[in-house]
């Protein structure tokens, strides 16, 4: 019964997302208007070319620019519950998903019976534990009470900073290998 209810909720959420896709995209700042291109061009011109060590550039208060790595991914250090964790920013992930090891690093200790939920991933089905993170921060952007999941040991290679964090921001925008995050 619980599994059927979970599938029903996911189906309703999927339908809602499809129906309201444009509004969601606009809310997240993922739609550019022609007037935005001039502002982005001036930001790009003033932005330094990143080195491998310099993947995060601090902007105005509450703004972070992440430069894509050679693999095309946006990777950085986030502070989860005040502890540093290497993450990949993933707009395709609906939630923040921590590896078991990173959860322990962030002070989250789980038992086997905490992994009550099943999720579908690109690699198949996995069991996860639902948690709420006290805070997640990248540079001077901080979000409190972030819903997340922790994967069972060995089931996730990299912690993913997904939409339960990103949707709390006022701006999430990608342009020419740079991801702009703004609180």
> Does 2 map to a domain?
no
**DSSP 3-state assignment of 31?**
coil
Closest CA to 161 of 70, 20, 64: 64
pLDDT in tens, 120-168: 777 778 899 999 999 999 998 999 999 999 999 988 899 999 999 999 9
**DSSP 3-state assignment of 167?**
coil
Q: What is the mean pLDDT of residues 27-42?
A: 39
Pairing of the two strands 63-67 and 56-58: antiparallel
* Tally of structural domains, the chain: 1
Write out the H or E segment, with its range, that includes residue 130: strand 124-138
> Does 159 map to a domain?
yes
pLDDT in tens, 165-178: 999 999 999 888 89
pLDDT value of position 6: 57
> Does 38 map to a domain?
no
Of 35-44, 78-87, 148-157, 165-174, the one with minimum mean pLDDT is 35-44
> Does 7 map to a domain?
no
Beta bridge partners of 65: 57, 180
| Euclidean distance between CA atoms 136 and 114, whole angstroms | 22
Check if the beta carbon of residue 57 is closer than 8 Å to that of residue 47.
Answer: yes
| Euclidean distance between CA atoms 78 and 68, whole angstroms | 16
Check if the beta carbon of residue 101 is closer than 8 Å to that of residue 169.
Answer: no
Domain that holds residue 146: 50-182
Q: Residue 112: which CATH number?
A: 2.40.70.10
> Does 88 map to a domain?
yes
> Does 90 map to a domain?
yes
| Euclidean distance between CA atoms 176 and 172, whole angstroms | 14
- Choice between 124 and 68, residue whose per-residue pLDDT is larger: 68
**Any residues with CB less than 8 A from the CB of 7 and at least 6 apart, and which?**
none
**DSSP 3-state assignment of 166?**
helix
> Does 165 map to a domain?
yes
**Phi and psi of 58, rounded to 5°?**
-80, 135
Write out the H or E segment, with its range, that includes residue 22: helix 21-27
> Does 98 map to a domain?
yes
| Euclidean distance between CA atoms 98 and 121, whole angstroms | 13
CA 62-44-64 angle, 5° bins = 20
Quote the pTM value.
Answer: 0.65
């Amino acid at each position: 019964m619980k599994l059927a209810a979970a599938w029903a909720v996911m189906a309703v959420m999927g339908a809602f997302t499809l129906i309201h896709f444009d509004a969601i995209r606009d809310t997240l700042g993922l739609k550019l208007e022609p007037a935005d291109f001039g502002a982005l061009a001036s930001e790009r011109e003033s932005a330094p070319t990143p080195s491998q060590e310099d993947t995060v550039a601090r902007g105005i208060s509450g703004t972070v620019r992440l430069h894509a790595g050679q693999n095309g991914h946006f990777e950085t250090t986030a502070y989860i519950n005040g502890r540093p964790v290497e993450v990949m920013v993933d707009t395709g992930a609906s939630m923040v998903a921590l590896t078991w090891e990173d959860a322990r690093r962030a002070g989250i200790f789980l038992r086997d019976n905490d992994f009550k939920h099943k999720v579908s991933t690109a690699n198949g089905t996995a069991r996860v534990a639902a948690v709420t993170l006290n805070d997640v921060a990248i540079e001077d952007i901080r979000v409190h009470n972030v819903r997340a999941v922790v994967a069972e040991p060995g089931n996730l290679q990299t912690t993913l900073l997904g939409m339960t964090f990103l949707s709390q921001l006022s701006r999430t925008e990608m342009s020419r290998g740079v991801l702009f995050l703004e609180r």
